[in-house]
Chains A and B, each alone.
Chain A
């Protein structure tokens, strides 16, 4: 986190600057900010004299570095994207405020993903039971969301989506046993050739965005695909209800290897740090796999502590031994692979089934285990689907 988006307000008309967000280094202090404002004022008004400003951030004086201040005051720029059974996706701020509601699907939203964020606009994906994936563009500054593309092609509910490391493609897995690779780059032209003189269609396009077709379809699973991820730019990994995890070549669409379990897989996660796959299945165990082993399935470890199906599992992005798992028994557990007998922490704040877990990117900078604990919990509170009704 090197840059922070910031706006500057003042009551004094004399020193008013444009109401646009500026990118400011996070390490900047009060003097640096004053310099920025002074430079802005100088640009507008030549006769400006240097003035030392003081800054209030959410009613608090800024006294330290901006980054430190944000940390201590819990001001975050992390947004949380959730999909819900109420057919919408929501963007939440770290404080727990619903910033934006993304509505457009005609059925339950099953999975969501950030494609990329550059500046104020970010691209996000939502998949739904209505067999479509929608690519949205969200402008965080103006706080408006626009459907860019509607990806059609699946014949079942799209349960999972994953964006490739280059942020140009994404892969989706569906109940119809297929994996489809799509382009994640929004375009203005319609991919499909359509007759322009159809107002209804156009109206629909306005609402839903341009229709997009898959770049590639990968078939091979015998049952519904429950989870998909990119191992690297060329390799895909998918877990399915047919008790297998399959590795695919994303370029050719060919199958590279298969890991066979004996239960339905709910979710998988891959850590590039330790190069292990973690899987959650319809039993109580979190299993760790070595995807490079060619000789069939090889379970390296079984982490057993849950009492229900493991519905979500996620490696820590910054720590090679830590992973977090969520289960239908309402408990989220933080694991360290070096202590496979018992989890590090039980995070038991949910009152209903945990369906999804994720780490914040800045998990790394949270040092103390207790704060880490809190932070993770806070994160998770937003990523589960609390109650259905």
Chain B
């Protein structure tokens, strides 16, 4: 049966292409041809006719149902091919009918709308309707005949179905087993090409002649031959008695007997007679004249143009001739020899920069994956395996921070490697990489970080500045806290913890004078006025004004005169500080005035005119930290009522009546005339140690114990214009040069750093600060290095005093 079935199908298949050739354009369904043609004509049908037709079609719809009811076993039996064909036909008719009605109703609605909308045009439309109706009346005849035809067919089929039913009953009776196998057959029959109940394949079956089985089923079990013990007599009897003997054939593959159905028999007959296998195929269909004189917009055939119509181009001929000539002459190699080596796409190759894409400016090649390394191996070298700590660290890291996204592991063999659990995840991330990675080249300016560093002039170009140690002033036996140079630059005074003040000749480092005082000297300051020769020395709670008697005799005597010419005012005020004139031995040594303060004095500094002297007595709890003395009138005043923090150092403005007070963190600038706070500079450091005012008066440098040097531009801001961190230890002292654009800082690390600090007259130009030299020479004793630095007033020389008891001159 299957064999037959297959045969039928083959026939149908062979039929189908033919039909397709003709009706390809309209529908691929062989049976839907007639009905699908219909809607082209039904567009103008009237309602009435449609209703009639709908009724008829309703009948059509019901028919197959009856048909199914009638032939109960029909669909299940092997004769379903015909039934299927009928069924499909009926179904298609049903569906097409529905379609028709749907499309008709649409058309009608449109027409109705047209009627409603355009009542004026009715008169003109009516005539057209009439003609339409006439036309349609002619056409309508056809469907009716069609319907009649189909009715007749179905009646026949009913009869056939009844016959088939009877026959099938007989077949059931004969071979009950077969039915079940047939039922199974459909289950297995996934392919309509091959019968795969027997898996031996296309082999001569006589090979199984001597075996009890004929092959193997899908489960690999033997297919046994049906018991066949018929002899000639049985065969004869069967021939005589069995009415279906003539239609029984043996299936070679299974060895079973198959009784052919009526349809199959009919098919065989038809083929024997040289007819089409398909019953429904009408050989003599009415011809449709496709090829008319009318020119259609769509070509009817897709056939390529025939060669007859080809007119060879002369120009092309010429070109071809040239090419042929060139090939003959060997100018052109017609064919490149094929490369025999296999070509692979190198996934990890870098993109060729000369390729079209590469040459494209904005092209960004897709990011390549990293090539697997040893750590990805299933058996990596031991150095790639993580130790316990490394593994812990790896686990504690964020997944984004990890160097490796996995832990390298060692397996005995490749077979022991488990499935990679993160495979999907990794692929997904790779896709994200490809998808999300920016494929646009941003026009970013490539900046070399070194270019961003401001172009500082070379120290060589900033000469002169001190470069070498020239002289060492030896003599003090303890650390030298403070030094000061006379305004002429000929003498240097230094105060030391060994309770002496020494006066040195700058050019030869000779100590000309040693004055002993009653305590460790904390500060010395030479009067900056060149017409006064006085040195203020502070030790313990005393400030002594010394006349060293150096320099011009006239100046020295004038200074003595200035002090001795003082006349006591009539009203004696109570002063904060006791003024006393030195007498006796002290006077011989040069002491002139002795000022007894209530507290220890740490720093003394002169005003530029040389009359006022400011003293610092650091004390956190009192408001009396700074006092200003006027030497000519022997008056003392406390400029501040409030304590604003521990005062570190003070300084007078070189030109204007400003007074700078540095506390631990701030530098306050007071206007002495207006008696108000003008500015408060934030030093951004923990503890200011020293301060110096630029001779121009608009810039201040502060050294701090936390190794910083802050440069303030008073016009710019209250915050440091620049902070220099060149020293490794606390800064002890800073100083400006009076003429040269130089400043220096001394630190506990034993070095003096000289910087070029150019202040421009142009307000728009910021100061230029260039460190130029590190001067070393002092030895560090008791963790202290350089304690004081000061510049020579006229030469680019810097003096530094250190804890090793020496003063050094760098030139």
Chain A interface residues toward B at CB < 8 A:
85, 108, 130-131, 155-157, 175-176, 223-224, 241, 262-264, 266, 282-283, 308-309, 328, 353, 355, 388
Contacts and interface: CB of A to CB of B under 8 A. Distances in A.
A175 B464 contact: no
Contacts of A263: 464, 811
Chain B interface size, as a band, is 20 to 34
10 contacts: A108-B512, A155-B554, A156-B490, A241-B489, A241-B795, A262-B463, A262-B464, A263-B464, A282-B795, A308-B470
The 6 lowest CB-CB distance pairs between A and B, nearest first, are A388-B510, A155-B552, A282-B811, A309-B470, A175-B490, A264-B795
A266 B470 CA distance: 13
B794 interface: yes
Contacts of A388: 510-511
Contact of A130 (B510, B511, B553, B554): B553
Contact of A156 (B463, B470, B551, B794): B551
B386 interface: no
A175 B552 CA distance: 10
Contacts of B490: 156-157, 175, 224
Contacts, number: 41
B488 interface: yes
Interface string B551-584: 1111000000000000000000000000000000
Interface in B497-515: 507-512
B794 A131 contact: no
A69 B567 CA distance: 74
Contacts of B489: 241
Contacts of B512: 108
B811 A156 contact: no
A353 B509 CA distance: 10
Interface in B755-811: 794-795, 811
A292 B684 CA distance: 58
B217 to A, nearest CB: 114
Interface in B235-278: none
A156 B471 contact: no
A97 B553 CA distance: 35
A131 B470 contact: no
B511 to A, nearest CB: 7
B794 A223 contact: yes
Contacts of B553: 130-131
Contacts of B510: 85, 388
Contacts of A266: 507
A263 B466 CA distance: 11
Interface in B469-524: 470-471, 488-490, 507-512
A158 B360 CA distance: 84
A131 B552 contact: yes
Contacts of B794: 223, 241
Given A156-B551, A328-B470, A353-B508, 13 more contacts: A131-B552, A155-B552, A156-B552, A175-B488, A175-B490, A176-B552, A241-B795, A262-B463, A266-B507, A282-B795, A308-B470, A309-B811, A353-B509
A353 B554 CA distance: 32
Contacts of A131: 552-553
Contact of B508 (A224, A241, A355): A355
Contacts of B471: 309, 328
Contacts of A264: 795
B811 A283 contact: yes
A266 B795 CA distance: 13
Contacts of B470: 282, 308-309, 328
A157 B549 CA distance: 12
Contacts of A130: 553
B559 to A, nearest CB: 15
A224 to B, nearest CB: 7
Contacts of A262: 463-464
A350 B541 CA distance: 45
Nearest to B555: A155
Contacts of B464: 262-263
A131 B555 CA distance: 12
A388 B473 CA distance: 12
Nearest to B552: A155
Nearest to A266: B507
A156 B490 CA distance: 10
Nearest to B472: A328
Nearest to B512: A108
Contacts of B488: 156, 175
Nearest to A264: B795
Q: Select the residue from B463, B471, B507, B811 with max chain A CB neighbours within 10 A.
A: B507
A36 to B, nearest CB: 49
A215 B508 CA distance: 31
A388 B794 CA distance: 26
A299 to B, nearest CB: 16
Nearest to B490: A175
A355 B552 CA distance: 23
A156 to B, nearest CB: 6
A263 B465 CA distance: 11
Interface in B533-562: 551-554
Nearest to A282: B811
B424 to A, nearest CB: 78
A131 B552 CA distance: 8
A166 to B, nearest CB: 31
Contacts of B509: 353
Contacts of B552: 131, 155-156, 176
Nearest to A224: B490
A180 to B, nearest CB: 15
Interface in B701-755: none
A181 to B, nearest CB: 21
Contacts of A175: 488, 490
A113 B520 CA distance: 43
Nearest to B811: A282
A108 B491 CA distance: 14
A260 B99 CA distance: 118
Nearest to B551: A156
Contacts of B811: 263, 282-283, 309
A286 to B, nearest CB: 16
Nearest to A309: B470
Nearest to A155: B552
Nearest to A175: B490
A283 B794 CA distance: 17
Interface string B609-645: 0000000000000000000000000000000000000
A131 B795 CA distance: 23
B552 to A, nearest CB: 5
Nearest to B464: A262
A131 B488 CA distance: 15
Contacts of A309: 470-471, 811
B487 to A, nearest CB: 13
Contacts of A328: 470-471
A263 B471 CA distance: 15
A315 to B, nearest CB: 23
Nearest to B795: A264
A144 to B, nearest CB: 29
A217 to B, nearest CB: 16
Nearest to B549: A107
A146 to B, nearest CB: 25
A182 B650 CA distance: 49
A95 B490 CA distance: 36
Nearest to A159: B507
